[in-house]
Amino acid sequence: MSEDGPAADDADATGETPASEDPNEDAEQYHLEVGRGDVAESVLLPGNPERVEKVTDGWDASEVVAEHREYRTATGTYDETPISVTSTGIGSPSAAIAVEELARVGADTLLRVGSCGAIREEASVGDLVITTGAVRQEGTSKEYVREDYPASADDRVVAALVTAAERLGYDYHVGVTASTDSFYAGQGRPGFDGFEAAGSDELVEDLRAANVLNFEMEAASILTLANLYGLRAGAVCTVYANRVTGEFRTEGERKAAKVASEAVSVLADMDAAADEAGVDRWHPGIGLGAE
């Protein structure tokens, strides 16, 4: 037996990686049940599968191409630009699976769209938060890379989301997000029967002091994996709750999806402008081409 263990022996004997080590090696991905050609290069990532239809309502055309567990995927066009959407379920573990399998079938731009809780007074219910980076308060990304590795959004995606929000006339805020593994204790809320986790009474104030804008549960893992794999990623969420003012309403549910869809069109214009200018990477100096 080699010092790498039985799996390595199997790989050496057959010349192939055992199927148990990479169940996604086949054309169809194990969890998402999508293959190459099923998804566009740009994919929106809501949590709730029921939001997929609400996302695609604003597109030119769309078709559901796969549905398995919490993962529902649809592909179509928005403003004549190819686009897909895949629901991730709640939290970073399932979101990371979506990133892994979408990357395997050719996606290169991932935009988290969803809802969040704001911890700044100025971020009112119904406003948008566009993430520049995320506090990695979840555990999934820590299984990939050291804890001081940054969960940063791609600057082009941030610029495209801001451009889209401006075009649509939505109120938005730009800054740092905190991603957690718990909706209750991890975000400083009481648990069942008034349970309080250690440090929960100080959590919100500590993050506010660090100029963090909001809580949600997926952005940090999506951004971390995207950076590790050389993909573009960002996040935009509609504020449902303001933890400072005490407001809570499911208002403006479709705003984040509309902004993210428009941002995919903007990114296509950015990429075309970069190609026309003969540069490897879009920057503000070259604008958006003919627009």
Structure confidence by residue, pLDDT tens digits, 174-205: 999 999 999 999 999 999 999 999 999 999 99
Q: Which of 41, 51, 72, 101 is catalytic?
A: 101
Q: Which helix (H) or strand (E) holds 261?
A: helix 255-277
Q: Which of 138, 156, 243, 262 is catalytic?
A: 243
User: Which residue do the tokens 């509609």 mark?
Assistant: 238
Percent of the chain with pLDDT over 90: 88
Q: Is 112 a catalytic residue?
A: no
User: Which residue do the tokens 């402008």 mark?
Assistant: 273
DSSP class of residue 248?
A: B
Q: Is 101 a catalytic residue?
A: yes
Is there a contact between 162 and 129 (Cβ–Cβ < 8 Å)? no
Q: Is 243 a catalytic residue?
A: yes
Q: 251-280: per-residue pLDDT in tens?
A: 888 999 999 999 999 999 999 999 999 999
DSSP class of residue 85?
A: E
* Model confidence, pTM: 0.93
Q: Give me the mean pLDDT over the 86-110 stretch.
A: 98
User: Which residue do the tokens 């959004």 mark?
Assistant: 153
Closest-CA residue to 36 (of 110, 97, 108, 112): 108
Q: What residues contact 195, with CB distance under 8 A and at least 6 apart?
A: 185
3-state SS, residue 195: coil
Closest-CA residue to 72 (of 60, 58, 59, 89): 89
The Cα–Cα gap between 131 and 55 comes to: 19
Average per-residue pLDDT for the chain:
93
Phi, psi of 37 (to 5 degrees): 95, -15
User: Which residue do the tokens 């971020």 mark?
Assistant: 123
Is there a contact between 208 and 120 (Cβ–Cβ < 8 Å)? yes
The per-residue pLDDT for 13 is 56
Bridge partners (DSSP) of residue 46 are none
The Cα–Cα gap between 155 and 178 comes to: 18
Q: Which of 104, 136, 156, 189 is catalytic?
A: 189
Q: 7-46: per-residue pLDDT in tens?
A: 444 444 566 778 888 887 767 999 999 999 999 999 999 9
The per-residue pLDDT for 7 is 45
Q: Which of 28, 31, 67, 251 is catalytic?
A: 31
The CATH number of 30-275 is 3.40.50.1580
